[in-house]
A and B are shown apart, each in its own frame.
Chain A
Amino acid sequence: MSYPGMRDLKLREALIFERSREGRRGYSLPAEDLTGAESILPAELRRDGLDLPEVSEVDVVRHYTRLSTYNFSLDLGFYPLGSCTMKYNPKVNEKLVRNPQFTELHPETPARFAQGTLKIMYEMQRMLAEIGGFAACTLNPSAGAHGEYTGIGIIRSYFAKKGDTKRKKIIIPDSAHGTNPASCALNGFEVVVLESDEHGKVDLATLKSLLTDEVAGIMLTNPNTLGVFESDILEITKMVHEAGGLVYGDGANMNALLGVARPGDMGIDVLHYNLHKTFSTPHGGGGPGAGPVGVCEKLVEFLPNPFVVCENGVYSFRNSDSAMGRVRSFYGNMGVTLKAFIYILEYGREHLGETAKNAVLNANYIKACLKSYYHLKYKSDTLHEVVFDDSEMPNHVTTMDIAKALIDRGYHPPTVYFPLIVHGALMIEPTESESKETLDEFIEAMIDIAEKAKSDPENILNAPLSTAVSRPDETLAARKPVLKWVKN
């Protein structure tokens, strides 16, 4: 067996609160007499008690270093989490954004003293618009779902300004991410679910039947969550536009198209990017991400406030009265945007398209090698990811078991049980970062699991055996929620 497997040094680690000892210190502050300082505040405005740990610097460092060893991470190995685009996070990005000239810049600094960052923001607004084929782009949204919220808010503002108050519905295919309907609901839209056809795609006749003068638009992920490109995209956008609606593009799968084709050229009116997917910024165990939104010409005025403009080589912020409003404080996750900026420039116009091409090649290679071992509900051609399922697994082996068995073989599991239209889905997205050897090893592991499912199902059903923790009781966690540590 050539796949990496998993064996590690595991040190047990208590909660940081359990390491606490009264009187222990981990900080260093200038010597200053603080006696009586609290009397600056009247007694009724002062707090009582403060239950934080008392630990030394070594305690803290050991604690978090040990915790870190409990994580699987992209730098440790292959992380084929479908739809999450776990591509390599370049180290140069990490280094350069830690320059204090960026980190120590206050957001209320007058523009004349912040020209460097403003210039980067302006360039990013422009480059992201160009990459997606849009007229303009906002950097304000802090994550993909926040971008969706913003993009749908722009659509809401557009119809509000037109006085078209009847358009209260947005069509969403049943293969969509849960954030899509949630983002629509948050904007006050009613969701109309469009059932995918037998190829996992939008059926034009079904779409036609749903398009009324109450529809504000459609929210499409393209390629969709099956990795299938909506090849009728030009007809779809045309139909929606003719019915008076707008087309929202969920850019979660933009890595399949980066530098190869532009959503704006397909008639998509609004699209959010995920900088933490397509543009290599690390996901940080759950964020921070960034979700810039690109829009076509007629929607530019509705972009959230503020945005960066350039006049005679001088950069500054501007607000617009017709904007959808403000979607957060300040200007977005700038620290994240800087990393994506460096990433785009490293690839440049010559190479950016190679990302998508290699990502699509890798995904199709996995698909070709595994399709005789795992069931594919939809046979359509796919781009950057592939969705298998457990419907042909013997001995009651499920997708969850396959996921856990992959852990023992040294991989992070794929996305499981999503999209919902594939029962027991296993969604694999390799990205362009992986070498052929890595893919081959992973394929070997997957084949081993498929074979063990037949010959030695216990090996799969008991996985993972190599981790400190195995199959936590999630029902107990939800029935009797313990959401913080409480001293006995």
Chain B
Amino acid sequence: MRYLPITDSERKEMLEKIGVKSVEDLFSPLPKSVLLKKELNIPSSMSEPELEKMMDELGRENRGANMLSFLGGGCYRHFCPALVDQMISRSEFYTSYTPYQPEVSQGTLQAIFEFQTMIANLFQMDVANASMYDGATAAAEAVLMAHKIQTKRHKVLIASTINPQYLETVRTYTSFVVDRIELLEMDPATGCVAESELAKIDSDTICVLFQYPNYFGMIENLKKISALTHEAGALLIPVVTEATALGVIATPGSIDADIAVGDGQALGIPMNFGGPGVGLFTCKEKHVRKMPGRLIGETVDRNGNRCFVLTLSAREQHIKREKATSNICSNQGLMATAASIYLATMGKQGLRDVALMNLKRADYLKKRIASETACKIAFNGCNYNEFTILAPMDACELLKALGEKGILGGIAAKKYFPELDNAVIVNTTEVHTYEELDRFVDALKEIAGGAK
């Protein structure tokens, strides 16, 4: 095996030094009965050319990777400059461990310090951590953190318009921790939290967790939710699953969020069937010692040089064990680095341009679908790059017919919202040309019929 350099004669020498006869002797602490007596039931060893062929063939079976796609729902296809992958392919970045020894890890430490800065700036929040697994777990940890801050309150409010997978994850993490989790129900006209539901925000509310743009692509009534949440003394926790949206839309900081989380996959990270992406976690400075995850801080070394170290570790599991703010250890470091390289490359103007291109395409597509096809726009209000349409037929039938034309038309909302059986959530980004958007409209016309 090419990854095993010890030769037979070296092995003999080494065993002699150790003072045992065979490698098997080194396993003598194991009970004999548990030693494997037969080969594992896994395939036979493959050579590099064979592996290459196999992966190529399996890849071909992923026909969806080549289709014209309008899928979003928490994972987005964006253009990514070639240099991002080139840079994170430097093995100094990808074959190093967590930066426990600062003298030999300044590369990672500085890169992640810059990541924290960029994410804090993007969100306009005081502090960002070194990353979480993804947006869903970041949301769950945000609720747990809020629960630790608001010790005397009992109720967590979550917008029903949040990504349903996030909702499920938050429930998994918190349902046995907080006394009550209540949903803020949707207004069927706006696709946003119904205004009347906001009355649920009261003095017993720990936090209000909501997403914008929400699962249906709609931007919630940020001002109102923020005002009522703060009036009640609850913590405001917005979730941003499409981080490029913050290239143009109002930030969590601008609505005075206490904790704000999100997913950074949209920032130059390939979709990879949903992972690895990068969870984003930010908060106000006064809460930083309750924050989960690693933090990199600036300091000086003994010669007075600026440098960076892991800091505020007394919050973490390796010191506080069962009293830690979270159990997280490994995060998504390399993906955080990729997101920073993307943000550095696109910069101030590039990210704004991307956001505007998304905004424009969604607006174009929405208008054409509304005016030329039998599909309707489901909700009144503002979107970023995602919106919901109502087909004159069952959503799955529509998507199936689109699939036959080589188009992944979006996500059938009924997968999570059974009452919305003809709703399809459609996403478009800067990777689409206007010709591709037209092709989609034409296909919709053909399948669902033209505008009446």
Contact = CB atoms under 8 A, between A and B. Distances in A.
B62 A101 contact: yes
Given A99-B59, A350-B39, A483-B295, A403 B101 contact: yes
A304 B171 CA distance: 12
Interface residues on B, range: 35 or more
19 contacts: A41-B382, A50-B247, A52-B118, A71-B96, A108-B75, A144-B330, A178-B318, A179-B327, A282-B334, A285-B105, A286-B330, A286-B332, A329-B263, A347-B45, A349-B45, A472-B103, A476-B299, A477-B297, A485-B114
A38 B359 contact: yes
B101 A328 contact: no
A5 interface: no
A75 B314 contact: no
Interface stretch (A85-93, A293-301, A446-454): A85-93
A351 B1 contact: yes
B56 to A, nearest CB: 7
Nearest to A343: B3
Contacts of A349: 39-45
Nearest to A412: B104
B324 to A, nearest CB: 4
Contacts of B177: 188
B107 A116 contact: no
Given A185-B322, A186-B144, A334-B275, 11 more contacts: A27-B350, A73-B91, A113-B408, A146-B133, A328-B169, A333-B275, A334-B276, A351-B45, A361-B23, A380-B29, A485-B113
A209 interface: no
A328 B135 CA distance: 8
Given A64-B341, A185-B324, A109 B317 contact: no
A116 B57 CA distance: 8
A373 interface: no
B74 interface: yes
A435 interface: yes
Interface in A35-90: 37-38, 40-42, 44-55, 57, 60-61, 63-65, 67-76, 79, 81, 84, 86-90
Given A64-B341, A330-B165, A231 B321 contact: no
Nearest to B396: A110
Contact of A350 (B44, B79, B110, B134): B44
Contact of A347 (B1, B41, B323, B363): B1
B301 A470 contact: yes
A146 B19 contact: no
A477 B314 CA distance: 12
A413 B101 contact: yes
Given A286-B294, A435-B6, A68 B90 contact: yes
Interface string B290-322: 000011111111110101110111101111111
B345 to A, nearest CB: 4
Given A108-B411, A286-B331, A331-B274, A365 B18 contact: yes
A104 B67 CA distance: 10
B90 A65 contact: yes
B239 to A, nearest CB: 11
B6 A54 contact: no
Interface residues of A, number: 194
Contacts of A44: 223, 250
Q: Which of B42, B165, B248, B302 has the most chain A CB atoms closer than 10 A to its own CB?
A: B42
A334 B272 contact: yes
B448 interface: no
B130 interface: yes
B254 A326 contact: no
B106 A468 contact: yes
Contacts, number: 681
Interface in B338-366: 340-341, 343-354, 356-357, 359-360, 363
B85 interface: yes
A13 B111 CA distance: 11
Given A46-B249, A106-B75, A34 B353 contact: yes
A425 interface: no
Contacts of B15: 361
B54 A345 contact: yes
Contacts of A394: none
Which 9 pairs show the lowest CB-CB distances between chains A and B? A330-B274, A348-B45, A286-B333, A284-B334, A101-B59, A107-B274, A325-B172, A113-B64, A116-B61
Contacts of B27: 260-261, 360, 383
Given A113-B64, A142-B276, A483-B116, A234 B33 contact: yes
B189 interface: no
Contacts of A42: 382
B29 A40 contact: no
Contacts of B11: 361
Contacts of A15: 110, 113-114, 117
Given A45-B222, A84-B97, A485-B117, A108 B73 contact: yes
A28 interface: yes
B172 A329 contact: no
Contacts of A86: 97
A17 B301 contact: no
A346 B45 contact: yes
Contact of B62 (A13, A71, A76, A105): A105
B48 interface: yes
A234 B71 contact: no
A77 to B, nearest CB: 10
B305 A17 contact: no
Interface stretch (B121-129, B153-161, B227-235): B121-129
A342 interface: yes
A45 B83 contact: no
B382 A45 contact: yes
B171 A325 contact: yes
Interface in B32-70: 33-36, 39-48, 51-52, 54-67, 69
A477 B106 contact: no
A71 B103 CA distance: 8
Contacts of B118: 52
A96 interface: yes
A51 B348 contact: yes
A285 B97 contact: yes
B351 A50 contact: yes
Given A52-B343, A55-B344, A92-B51, A105 B74 contact: no
A113 B67 contact: yes
B373 interface: no
Contacts of A362: 6, 14
A324 B58 CA distance: 31
A99 B42 contact: no
B312 A481 contact: yes
A98 interface: yes
